[in-house]
Amino acid sequence: MRLKLVIFDADGTLVDSQADILGSMHGAFERQGMTSPSREDILGIVGLSLDVAMLKLAPTTDAVTRAALVEGYKHTYMRRREAVGAKESSPLYPGALAALDRLKARDDVVLGVATGKSRRGLDKLIEGHGLEGYFLTRQVADDHPSKPHPSMILTALAEMGIESGDAVMIGDTSYDMEMAQSAGVAGLGVSWGYHPSSALSAAKHIIEDFSALDTVLEQMFGELA
């Protein structure tokens, strides 16, 4: 039996954290006396590491200001999450937990996560939703270049001892799909996240809700076999 590695993005794929992301970004820019970017621009950088995201959102600022924006974002994000808890501030999308449960129960599948979150942020999210033990490999922004660099996926493959041809990356952004393509793994896009489906041109398939995941994964696993 050949094991398959199914890697999930977090924000915009498993959890809807846009309220926290938007609020934290507004807070970061306000702390610097700067005009906050638009909602569209902010959601457009979800998935990138914060330093890369700030360079995109504030390209004319100097490195010191961008570093302050990063710290301001982290500060505001933590305060918002502490106020209500990760489960409420970043709720799972409908069907996500059931889909994870089904995959976790399979003998031929191992689960991983590759996210632009920090390790602390991912750990808090997993703890808040009771997902300890679900993801055998966790790749975070602390340890890698920003998406779409393939480092997260390549490290996950190495940790699990699985070849790229036996892996699927599930995500909502063009960065996820481009990362998958660069790593030589199949990309499965989701339509409910922060990038429009039209931006997921590198995806092998796109699903409209979690109820379609099992069927499409079976199809993809067949293509990988």
Task: Tell me which residues are annotated as active site.
Answer: 9, 11
Beta bridge partners of 114: 139
Structure tokens at 189: 């896009």
E strand or H helix at 18, and its extent?
helix 18-31
E strand or H helix at 188, and its extent?
strand 186-190
Give the residue from 172, 211, 165, 210 showing the smallest Cα distance to 190: 172
State the angle between helix axes of 50-57 and 63-84 in degrees (0 to 180), rounded to the nearest 10: 120
Rounded Cα–Cα distance for residues 139 and 158 (Å): 12
Rounded Cα–Cα distance for residues 179 and 132 (Å): 25
Rounded Cα–Cα distance for residues 11 and 25 (Å): 15
Give the residue from 8, 50, 3 showing the smallest Cα distance to 153: 8
Structure tokens at 175: 């960065």
- Is the backbone of residue 12 left (phi > 0), alpha (psi -120 to 50) or beta? left
